[in-house]
Structure 1
């Protein structure tokens, strides 16, 4: 059960700062211990030092965000959204820079070619982002790109348990996002999506992951079985044809489109670190140099289907396109 907000503020947030100071003071010790433990491993498997460096960098940045949020609260700026979006932009830029240096991360984003009018339009209308869900870094990279290139203010519906992260808890709760407790179920998620989408301005972006979770073969089989049990034979057949994605849940995407019909829709595919789902996966499988490739497809609001059944088929059409793109990327990598 998630502790009350006042307890999270008085205990968890200060604890992060205390742990950060401890790690900084004892950093030489951890580096020596990690280096000694890695001597017998081949170079590609010597991940310990990199994880220590990145962990300390992350803690330091988290502490800086918490201190900045405290200052904003004392100065009366806790409700100033633009300052908090700037703080998120700074944090993500620093984390991304650390990942580039420490993990040799490269990010290649293939965006659609736009005419001059389309280029202008993409910056003057709200957008609904429908992204595949794969690995721990997809949300981070997606939000970083929205903030940096599109200059958008992302809105996300998240699990309430993520509030255990103090900096996320403080910053995100001061902005138009939603933390949904497990007991709220699917209905609660849909209601929050409707609320966030209906109040978007031209500078906002609602981010949705229609799969509802990371891909695994077992989850794929269960999802197809559920479609069959509901009598959705067409959707089940199309899901069987996708090897790298879970079938999308259409209700969230359709609710967002209905609540904000003026929004353009962007579909996002990405691959590169798909197998790194858990912390254990990251520890065992993280390559010496990491590369993530992403591709975006933009659909103007006027081209989004109007009827529900047409929208479901349209969503599956794009999911099949994403699945084919992932297959092509993997084939190019191995071939």
Structure 2
């Protein structure tokens, strides 16, 4: 079960999504049997892999796959109970599904690979009676999973997430998030001129129990992507933006259009800005395996602003977001510098 972006992969058509849902349990059985066949060989790698990191990662992958399959089956069951999705407990039932799945996955990840979350300080999740807009840094493995857990499991809010439409390839996540009215951003090849229209539609429908999550960087931060951003800005002659990017090595440039659309169409929503660090340097499957068991925790800080303290005008939102992103970079830099001196 993953909540992250796969921007290079176009979304599957509806008919293929239905086929994927139908064959997913059978696929799970086949992959589980294959994993069992591989276990003895993976154990033989112990002299070279003393932590059995590859075995742990494959086990966790299979476990997450079955949690995802469980979401598909339970979504089918809820559809049978309410064919038109008009049950008064429709949202609550699906929130319970994702809460349980996230709790199970994060508990198992902690036991198997050492993935654990720590929240810095007291975190408020918006005022009662107000929806919540959540703007987060995007870096390291499973950060979006942790933030979704924070919103659904800790805050008890219904997560309505803005994510790449490539995530429609994941049958379980796609089913439950579609039913919770998340927005799958279309790929650039088929998006037309305005990729924020769906963001605006979703924001205008937020209720007091909802939390709308967006990653304004658009993709996971890595050193390579930050360096690529510097090269592109330099080549384009963007001196001011280049200077800002150089001064903020721990974040990518935040795009303000989606955030501005959220503010304009949900002006009564409180706004939380999430910073996190701990697993920043781990990117890609090979790096994840080398890092297991994780020795650093994923440290999360959330700062919430009242709706009336956050602008709604597009230019003012861009300026406000830029200031917050400078604060996010400073917080990450301070925590990483402190960790390196331990």
**Contact between 2:12 and 2:168, CA under 8 Å: does it hold in 1?**
no
RMSD: 2.5
Residue 39 of structure 1: aligned partner: 46
Partner of 2:6: none
Decide whether the 8 Å contact of 1:30 with 1:52 is kept in 2.
Answer: no
2:27 to 1, 9, 19: 19
1:69 to 67, 70, 75: 75
Counterparts of residues 244-283 of structure 1 (less than 5 Å): 244-283=250-289
Report the counterpart of residue 18 of structure 2 in structure 1.
Answer: 9
Paired with 1:286 and 1:252, the residues of 2 have a C-alpha distance of 35
Question: What SS does the corresponding residue of 2:298 show, helix, strand or coil?
Answer: strand
Shift of 1:178: 1.7
Give the 3 Å change call, closer, same or farther, for CA 288–7 of structure 1 in structure 2. closer
Please name the residue that 1:91 is paired with. 101
Q: Distance in 1 between matches of 2:308 and 2:330?
A: 26
Q: CA deviation at 1:19?
A: 2.8
CA distance in 2, matches of 1:258, 1:232: 28
Which residue of structure 1 lines up, in the alignment, with residue 182 of structure 2?
Answer: 177
Q: Shift of residue 210 of structure 1? A: 0.9
Moved more, 141-150 or 13-22: 13-22
* In the alignment, structure 1 residue 106 sits paired with structure 2 residue 116: yes
The whole-number CA distance in structure 1 between the counterparts of 2:309 and 2:128 is 18
Q: Is the 2:271–2:307 contact (alpha carbons within 8 Å) kept by the matching residues of 1?
A: yes
- Quote the offset at 1:159 in angstroms: 1.6
Instruction: Decide which of 190, 208, 220 is 1:214's aligned counterpart.
Output: 220
Task: Spell out, residue by residue over 1:104-153, the C-alpha distance to the aligned partner (whole angstroms, 9 max, x if none).
Answer: 22211124476xxxx8x523311111101112311110010001222111
Alpha-carbon distance in structure 2 between the residues aligned to 1:243 and 1:135:
15
Structure 1 position 309, deviation (Å): 3.5
**Which consecutive unaligned segments of at least 5 residues does structure 2 have?**
1-9
What's the offset of the Cα at 1:255? 1.3
CA contact (8 A) 2:39 2:55 kept: yes
Q: Could you tell which deviates more after superposition, 230-239 or 126-135? A: 230-239
Contact 1:227–1:233 (Cα < 8 Å) also in 2: yes
Note if contact 1:224-1:247 (Cα within 8 Å) is conserved in structure 2: no
**Which residues of 2 match residues 92-171 of structure 1 at below 5 A?**
92-112=102-122, 122-171=127-176
Query: Equivalent residues in 2 for 1:291-306 (5 A)?
Result: 291-305=297-311
Q: Which segment drifts farther, 237-246 or 226-235?
A: 226-235
Provide the secondary structure at the position in 2 that maps to 1:294: strand
- Larger helix percent: 1
Measure, in 2, the Cα distance between the counterparts of 1:307 and 1:231: 27
* Superimposed CA distance per residue, residues 257-300 of structure 1 (whole angstroms, 9 cap, x where no aligned partner): 11111111111111111122322322233444451111111111
Distance 1:34 1:123, change over 3 A: farther
Which 4+ stretches in 1 moved above 6 angstroms? 228-232
Whether the aligned pair in 1 keeps the contact of 2:119 and 2:300 (CA below 8 Å) is: yes
Cα distance between partner residues in 2 of 1:326 and 1:280: 24
What displacement does 1:218 show?
Answer: 4.4
Q: What is the CA–CA distance in structure 2 between the aligned matches of 1:281 and 1:150, rounded to whole Å?
A: 31
Q: How many residues align?
A: 327
Q: Is the 8 A contact 2:186 2:195 kept in 1?
A: no
Q: 1:245 to 1:315 in 2, by over 3 A?
A: same
